[in-house]
Amino acid sequence: MSKFLYMGVNVSFAEKNIWIYGVLAVVIPAVYAVIVLGQVGSTPVEEIEYVIPLITAIAAAIVLAIIGNIIVAIASPKGAGINDERDRGISRTGELVGYYSLSAGVLVALGLVMAEAPHFWVAQTIYAAFILSAILSTIIKIVAYRRAA
């Protein structure tokens, strides 16, 4: 394990990747929101071009997460790919919380579909559910790692 931000805190390979995932789960949607949701007040939602920015945001998150994982693996090769029981338990708990929040968000999107809301709002709701899921699961995992440290 290496020192994280020179705080004298040991951080596992899995936790480093969770931090990367968490930062990406906040930064990329924030940029997307500025670009796309910033148009809501001035442009009818039917005219907002959101598909390409949405696909770009999703692809960027995936690619940047992979690059971040590779960088972490190169920087600390001894810990790469090694997960102990604690890592698996923390991951399981965080993913469970993410699953529940994603499920709730998808139910909201389903309600929008049934109400025949514009596709724009359905897509934004689904994306927001994914983002909420990512952020909540990341917070749960980081808190669990810090309490166990």
Domain-located, residue 91:
yes
Q: What is the mean pLDDT of residues 93-121?
A: 96
Domain-located, residue 102:
yes
Q: What is the mean pLDDT of residues 49-68?
A: 96
What pLDDT is attached to residue 57? 97
Q: What is the mean pLDDT of residues 64-76?
A: 91
Q: What is the mean pLDDT of residues 92-112?
A: 96
If 0-12 CB within 10 Å is exposed, 13-18 middle and 19+ buried, where does residue 37 land?
middle
Domain-located, residue 2:
no
Helix (H) or strand (E) segment spanning residue 5: none
Domain-located, residue 4:
no
* CA dist., res. 136 & res. 127, Å (int): 14
* CA dist., res. 32 & res. 63, Å (int): 16
Its pTM stands at: 0.85
Domain-located, residue 5:
no
What pLDDT is attached to residue 86? 84
Q: 101 is in which domain, residue-wise?
A: 12-148
- Residues 135-149 have pLDDT tens digits of 999 999 999 988 875
Query: Residue 6's pLDDT band (boundaries 50, 70, 90)?
Result: very low
Q: What is the mean pLDDT of residues 57-73?
A: 95
- Residues 23-37 have pLDDT tens digits of 999 999 999 999 998
Instruction: Say if CB 43 and CB 91 are below 8 A apart.
Output: no
What pLDDT is attached to residue 22? 95
What pLDDT is attached to residue 7? 54
Domain-located, residue 1:
no
Domain-located, residue 129:
yes
Question: How many folded domains does the chain comprise?
Answer: 1
What pLDDT is attached to residue 136? 96
Domain-located, residue 140:
yes
